[in-house]
Amino acid sequence: MDTDQQELKSIGFWGILEKTFKIIYKERMIFTKITLCFTLPLTIILIGYPAFNVYSFQKTLTIPLLFYTLFLTGIIFTVIFFLPPTAAIVYTITCIYTAKQFNFKTILRVVPKVWIRLMVTFAIQSLIMLAYNFVTILLITPPIIWLTAEWISNTLIILAVIYLIGFVYISIIWSLANVVTLLEDLKGYGAIKKSKALLKGKRLLASSLFLLISVPEVVGQIIVFVIVRNAINNEKIGYGNICLLVTLGLILPVLILLVQVMQTIFYLVCKSYHHEIIDKSYLQIHMDNFFPAAYAPPVERNVQLEHSN
């Protein structure tokens, strides 16, 4: 990447957005292939999952075990399709950053090799989130039991705000930990601990980027849920709702691509902010050692991030 560490250190919210769009536009062919191969299937899962939940809940209401089995199955499929786009996009950005030769076949060979590493980090993060939700339930239960009705609502609102702040923070740590897992010799709790350290001094920036992408995604999920629930209850779906679902199906892959590219750039910004040397030669050696079968022949072109003025 032409951008040096001093410039990376000073990049803020708009700088990360600008660099993200420039990278995607300049390498639009490779990112289009990644979107069609990885993020589009994930989008189908994300759109279909609410429909699956609503339908399975109504059909298996009298069989709780079957419902929870189907629910967990859906989560597993979501995870399976969520991790490959992360691996593909982080690897691509790293190749661009280090001017390493690569092609789409290289990316396809890389993804299966790093999937297990990402799963380890995901498993640890899931346990952390499970513990966080358990503690939240413990905190919510006493007010519901002991407080009067007029106090319960105010207390629950305060606890909900605190919960959302913690949820966003944990989610940001996990997103950054995925990049650490791929670009450093860390995984699981080690990657999570490193990502937490990198976030120091950049929490507000990270939260802004997270909310920028997450809010549209959540709104899209709510729209899908409402459309599906009404369609099941009325046993029909209107043409307008179909068009809306198709539109969401086109927007969500772009949002997923944006968030993955941004989190990789954000990782480089955090490294520079903490004066950690980003050695391009080390990253190249790391990728060659970590993905020895993923080397692309020298006939491919070198790619570099466009210099930000």
Mean pLDDT over 188-198 rounds to: 88
Mean pLDDT over 166-179 rounds to: 88
Structure token pair of residue 146? 């002991």
For residue range 69-104, what is the model confidence (pLDDT) as tens digits?
A: 666 666 666 667 777 888 888 888 877 877 777 778
For residue range 204-229, what is the model confidence (pLDDT) as tens digits?
A: 888 888 888 888 877 877 777 777 77
Residue type, 58: Q
Q: Is residue 308 part of a domain?
A: no
Number of domains observed in the structure of the chain? 1
Q: Is residue 247 part of a domain?
A: yes
CA distance 282 to 235: 58
Q: Is residue 258 part of a domain?
A: yes
Q: Is residue 306 part of a domain?
A: no
Q: Is residue 265 part of a domain?
A: yes
Query: Which sign does the torsion angle of CA 86, 211, 159, 201 carry?
Result: positive
184 Cβ contact list (under 8 Å, min separation 6)? 191, 194, 286
The answer to whether residue 142 scores a pLDDT higher than 80 is no
Residue 33 domain boundaries? 5-294
- The helix (run of H) or strand (run of E) holding residue 183 is helix 149-183
This prediction has a pTM of 0.76
Q: Is residue 25 part of a domain?
A: yes
Q: Is residue 299 part of a domain?
A: no
Q: Is residue 35 part of a domain?
A: yes
The answer to whether residue 283 scores a pLDDT higher than 80 is no
